[in-house]
Structure 1
Amino acid sequence: MDRTAPDTLNAEAIREDFPILDRKIGGSELVYLDNGATSQTPQQVIEAIVDYYTQYNANIHRGLHTLSQEASIAYEEAHDTVADFIGADGREEIVFTKNTTEAQNLVAYSWGMNELGPGDEIVLTQMEHHASLVTWQQMCKRTGAEVKYIPITNEGYLDMEAAESLVTDDTKLVSVSHVSNTLGTINPVDELAAIAHDHGAYLFVDGAQSVPTRPVDVGALDADFLAFSGHKMCGPTGSGALYGKKEILEEIEPAFYGGGMIRKVEYEDSTWHDLPWKFEAGTPGICEGIALAAACEYLSDIGMERVQSHEESLAEYAYDQLARCDDVEIFGPPGNDRTGLVSFDVEGIHPHDLSSIVNEHGVAIRAGDHCTQPLHGTLGVPASARASFYIYNTHEEIDVLVDVLHEAREIFH
């Protein structure tokens, strides 16, 4: 069945690619609205995983036999596919990781541990995911550098005037979430890149919520680093990638050592392999990398412009439906200016209780701080509920969520 129309995405047809959506929870059809945490996996990616393990499962770059050669070629070509997906110049700029968090840590230990010291600054934002905030916070504690935070406005946007004053010649790196996983805010990464580069600083982009949901071109963004996770974009868990400009990756030292990343080893010293293998020590997630590439191909076939349009339509519709409820507080920008997620609070019902109640009706949403504890402190709430959408979600599923919220009110009030 055709999964696309000329300018729109056919969600009903896409749903046929996802076996898990046939499940029933508590006798109700599954309504999966926790895609900001982990998306579901289409049959096409599942088949790529099965094909690897049933046809050419072997270690890479270490054997001359047929299976090793086939696995090596598939794994190398997976880097090419991912590079094309985000507009990188080639496989040399794509390092496979387990997830966005590992990519952040890789840069922190490869570059930050060697380059940061007292007097240096790292600039983050108040809406950063713990993957960024905790990593750079702790790296600064180790090196004596200082962490500074770009504040958010009451509407949930970055205060760009404050950003211009916070980034100085002492700033070595600015790290920003391209899309906030709590607020749905789409941050002006290209503007932040220009500010950072004017002061000789690098820009690290957390693309965990943007790469799965919209066209991302690292060249247009002028990002020095960008990271994302496969499990949020139809890929398997334990898969992700770090993009880095080639000239930067060539210059910095690897964080992990061992087999696969070396060119020559002697008792006294060692030299490193070419990019990107220099940063992929040991046996990597071969299958995971191949499956990540399959997910990129799946999304490319749909068209990332269609994915973005569908997500934004769902977000605006959900925002409008929830905004009609007097006892619901929605966090972040208005519905027509956010990506495909809505975090909210229902007066008198703790998000954990709310999540449990809607789950009884087959609706899966997130509840908690979404790995943004400091941001929730800024918002004045300990936690929130979050509905996050993807290519297989429909407006009708949002109606189901809103109807179930009414039932939750009756239980508590």
Structure 2
Amino acid sequence: MTQLPGLLDTEAIRKDFPILDRQIHDGRKVVYLDNAATSQKPRQVLDALNAYYERHNANVHRGVHVLAEEATALYEGARDKVAAFINAPSRDEVIFTKNASESLNLVANMLGWAEEPYRVDRETEIVITEMEHHSNIVPWQLLSQRTGAKLKWFGITDDGRLDLSNIDEIITEQTKIVSFTLVSNIMGTINPVETIIRRAQEVGALVCIDASQAAPHMVLDVQALQADFVAFTGHKMCGPTGIGVLWGRQELLEDLPPFLGGGEMIETVSMHSSTYAPAPHKFEAGTPPIAQAVGLGAAVDYLSSIGMDNIAAHEHAITEYAVKRLLEVPDLRIIGPSTAEERGATLSFTLGDIHPHDVGQVLDEQGIAVRVGHHCARPVCLRFGIPATTRASFYLYSTPAEVDALVEGLEHVRNFFG
């Protein structure tokens, strides 16, 4: 068995994840390498979800009976856990959404409806990057089309890094918002946050960070980031689907208008007008994802018990090993950084002229789960002149043996199509 420095005790950790024992295709144990799409869930999260529905299920905030009070305490307790996890100055800066896409749409719509000095209009510019997930492209395109604001973006270098050579021309005095991913979901690139934020602050632009591929894998300290908004999702960090987070600076949340209207987000309502509750409830209209928030809180507890620094070290070791092994495969081309430096635990590649969908299908027959396609980052594929990639992505329960299984599977793919 391959031993690498910095690895977690994956044998113990994997016992927490029932699905990793599943056998498919005539008794093959599943090799799950699709963590950038969604992570698996430990028993601790599954138990928290079951316990909520079995013992505490009720709507939150308004009821005075025991179950309602228990549900409210669990839901708001999850907010406290998330606030601590990301080092938020205030729990009231943590808004629950249904996913990161909704969080990013929330920011875009707030700025489209805002008054000065935050309003985005035809006199202003929006800046994104070519490596964004569609969730951090389409909302800004829609805002640009609706308001007349100019949409600009940073390009990508040949080695999969952001091209910041023209940063002063991209981020200008007219820039109102800069929104970019901390870690690329297709290439694994970790972007230079400090450089981008420093320039944005020079011109007075707001900064929104998509941390969907960062929050599960590394320490996420919103105070250290110095961004204005940070979005991420629960299902990629051992939590359930249907729960996302938007963190925003308190003063911005106080000044900006709500995205959705309905129950719970109001202070008073008459037939003529309404006033709104303070953040975070101002942005959480209707019955929220209560059980999902409880599950996310359990996921935060689980990740915190292992330690995000330890998880990051484990993934770096696995990624370094994976890059080395994949580069040994003939005709394989890594799309993005070809070293483990300043990159997350996501590797996209092509294999000669074999279509990624064919690669994925043959790997699946070996029990290996990878992702194929453009990964909701089609501009990246266009930039590199490819229709799609095969993507392997790792997490805290990934092992060197699974990397070896992937490499052996790719040899089988080459022989199959040889």
Give the TM-score range, shorter chain.
over 0.9
Contact kept in structure 2, 1:113 and 1:139, CA below 8 Å: no
Q: Distance in 2 between matches of 1:163 and 1:30?
A: 44
Q: Distance in 2 between matches of 1:105 and 1:132?
A: 8
Q: 1:104 offset after TM fit, Å?
A: 0.5
Give CA deviations for 1:302-350 in whole Å, capped at 9, x if unaligned: 0000111111111111111111123000011132211101100000210
1:223-238 equivalence runs, <5 A: 223-238=227-242
Q: Distance in 2 between matches of 1:163 and 1:314?
A: 33
Q: Which residue of 2 aligns with 1:391?
A: 396
Alignment match of 1:339 (pick from 328, 340, 344): 344
Is 1:329 the equivalent of 2:333? yes
Q: 1:374 offset after TM fit, Å?
A: 1.0
Q: Distance in 2 between matches of 1:336 and 1:353?
A: 27
Alignment match of 1:265 (pick from 264, 269, 275): 269
Q: Distance in 2 between matches of 1:357 and 1:380?
A: 24
Contact kept in structure 2, 1:228 and 1:241, CA below 8 Å: yes
Q: How many residues of Structure 1 are paired with residues of Structure 2 in the alignment?
A: 408
Q: Which residue of 2 aligns with 1:58?
A: 58
Q: Which amino acid counterpart does residue 147 of structure 2 have in structure 1?
A: T
Contact kept in structure 1, 2:6 and 2:317, CA below 8 Å: no
Q: 1:8 offset after TM fit, Å?
A: 4.7
Contact kept in structure 1, 2:228 and 2:248, CA below 8 Å: yes
Q: Distance in 2 between matches of 1:190 and 1:98?
A: 29
Q: 1:119 offset after TM fit, Å?
A: 2.2
Q: 1:160 offset after TM fit, Å?
A: 2.1
Q: Which amino acid counterpart does residue 334 of structure 1 have in structure 2?
A: S
Is 1:365 the equivalent of 2:370? yes
More displaced, 331-340 or 251-260? 331-340
Q: Which residue of 2 aligns with 1:118?
A: 122
Alignment match of 2:286 (pick from 282, 286, 298): 282
More displaced, 347-356 or 160-169? 160-169
Alignment match of 1:141 (pick from 142, 145, 152): 145
Alignment match of 1:409 (pick from 391, 410, 414): 414
Contact kept in structure 2, 1:312 and 1:340, CA below 8 Å: yes
Q: Which amino acid counterpart does residue 69 of structure 1 have in structure 2?
A: E
Q: Distance in 2 between matches of 1:349 and 1:246?
A: 50
Contact kept in structure 1, 2:321 and 2:400, CA below 8 Å: yes
Q: Distance in 2 between matches of 1:297 and 1:193?
A: 30
Give CA deviations for 1:333-376 in whole Å, capped at 9, x if unaligned: 13221110110000021000110100011100000000001111
Q: Which amino acid counterpart does residue 76 of structure 2 have in structure 1?
A: E
Q: Which residue of 2 aligns with 1:374?
A: 379
Q: Distance in 2 between matches of 1:216 and 1:160?
A: 23
1:6-405 equivalence runs, <5 A: 8-26=7-25, 27-114=27-114, 115-337=119-341, 338-405=343-410
Q: Which amino acid counterpart does residue 49 of structure 2 have in structure 1?
A: I
Q: Distance in 2 between matches of 1:298 and 1:90?
A: 22
Q: Distance in 1 between matches of 2:266 and 2:113?
A: 21
Q: Which amino acid counterpart does residue 302 of structure 1 have in structure 2?
A: I
Contact kept in structure 1, 2:48 and 2:294, CA below 8 Å: yes
Q: Distance in 1 between matches of 2:62 and 2:361?
A: 49
Q: 1:14 offset after TM fit, Å?
A: 0.4
What are the ranges of 5 or more consecutive residues in structure 1 without an aligned counterpart? Answer: 1-5
Q: 1:164 offset after TM fit, Å?
A: 2.9
Q: Distance in 1 between matches of 2:373 and 2:213?
A: 18
Q: Distance in 1 between matches of 2:179 and 2:354?
A: 34
Q: 1:7 offset after TM fit, Å?
A: 6.3
Q: 1:241 offset after TM fit, Å?
A: 0.2
**CA RMSD, 1 decimal:** 1.1
More displaced, 363-372 or 268-277? 268-277
Give CA deviations for 1:274-320 in whole Å, capped at 9, x if unaligned: 21011000000001111111111100000000111111111111111
Aligned with 1:335: secondary structure? coil
More displaced, 197-206 or 162-171? 162-171
Q: 1:246 offset after TM fit, Å?
A: 0.5
Aligned with 2:165: secondary structure? helix
Q: Which amino acid counterpart does residue 12 of structure 1 have in structure 2?
A: E
Q: Which amino acid counterpart does residue 85 of structure 2 have in structure 1?
A: F
Aligned with 1:160: secondary structure? coil
Q: 1:87 offset after TM fit, Å?
A: 1.1
Contact kept in structure 2, 1:182 and 1:372, CA below 8 Å: yes
Q: 1:73 offset after TM fit, Å?
A: 1.1
Give CA deviations for 1:373-411 in whole Å, capped at 9, x if unaligned: 111100110100000000111000010010011111111
Q: Distance in 2 between matches of 1:146 and 1:408?
A: 45
Aligned with 1:231: secondary structure? coil
